[in-house]
Amino acid sequence: MRLVDLTRMLDSADFERLPEPVKASASVLVPQVDYFAPDGKGAEVMCATFGCERHHLPGGEGWGEERVRINTHLGTHVDAPLHYGTMCEGKPARTIGDIDLSELYCDGLVLDVRPWAKPNTGVTVEALQAALEANGGTVTPGCALMIRTGQEAYDLSQIEWYAYPGMTRQGTLFLAELGAKILGTDAVGWDRPFGVMRRVFRETGNPAEIWDGHFAGRDREVFIVQQLDNLRAVPPHGFKVGFFPMRLNRCSA
């Protein structure tokens, strides 16, 4: 059995690589990490813990540890229904700790929308239908449908990475009504970019343009996964995929 990791590597040093306009959103892109190396702070902490000196430790080294501060929506992550609001399908929305692991291990399909998707625009239902037809697989109840938008061509240092094709309310509900429970994307976010939705709302005054892809999850319970990486390495269908988040109580991701 071949295993493929679909998570994005997280590196605190990436903050310096972020384009200036997106540094305000760094908490969902880059972790804050204090590194305690065995030959540095790790040894100091160990000496303080055991009341010893560096020469008492093997090679003068202690343990290695890191102290990390993260946003629950950092990097490749699973959105729980609580992320979309306090109610889902007329019931209290579930948190990430409420979701059983059996719901997060399922059949997977990759819908390649690259021929139709365009930067800063919503992926249409017609594009999703075409991608599903080209995939040739079968959507099974509770499966994961992962959208390959082509964002793999860029990384977080490039402004193009933030001008991604996003999902709309119509597209989200279309996938959910097929029977999928997990909806994923290789883009930074599930919806159209925030700046795009803000501009369209300003121009139209229509509140339905605000975060409509995520808010669709209030009406149909789905788990949204963002910032998937390496979708090119998995086949269109015929595989199992697991999404195993940190077990955080009362959290939305």
3-class DSSP assignment, residue 133: helix
Span 50-62, pLDDT tens digits:
999 999 999 999 9
Q: What are the φ/ψ torsions at residue 136 (nearest 5 degrees)?
A: 80, -5
Q: Tell me the per-residue pLDDT of 112-154, one tens digit each, with 9 for 90 and over.
A: 999 999 999 999 999 999 999 999 999 999 999 999 999 999 9
What's the predicted TM-score (pTM) here? 0.95
pLDDT in tens, 195-231: 999 999 999 999 999 999 999 999 999 999 999 999 9
Euclidean distance between CA atoms 126 and 142, whole angstroms: 22
**Percent of the chain scoring above 90 in pLDDT:** 100
Write 123-126 long-range contacts (CB < 8 A, 24+).
123/147, 123/149, 123/165, 123/166, 123/167, 123/168, 123/171, 124/168, 124/170, 124/171, 125/170, 125/171, 125/174
pLDDT tens-digit series, residues 171-205 = 999 999 999 999 999 999 999 999 999 999 999 99
- 61-105: per-residue pLDDT in tens? 999 999 999 999 999 999 999 999 999 999 999 999 999 999 999
Give the 3-state secondary structure of 162-198: HCCCEECHHHHHHHHHCCCCEEEECCCCCECCHHHHH
Mean pLDDT across the stretch 232-252? 96
Categorize the per-residue pLDDT at 1 as very low, low, confident or very high, splitting at 50, 70 and 90.
confident
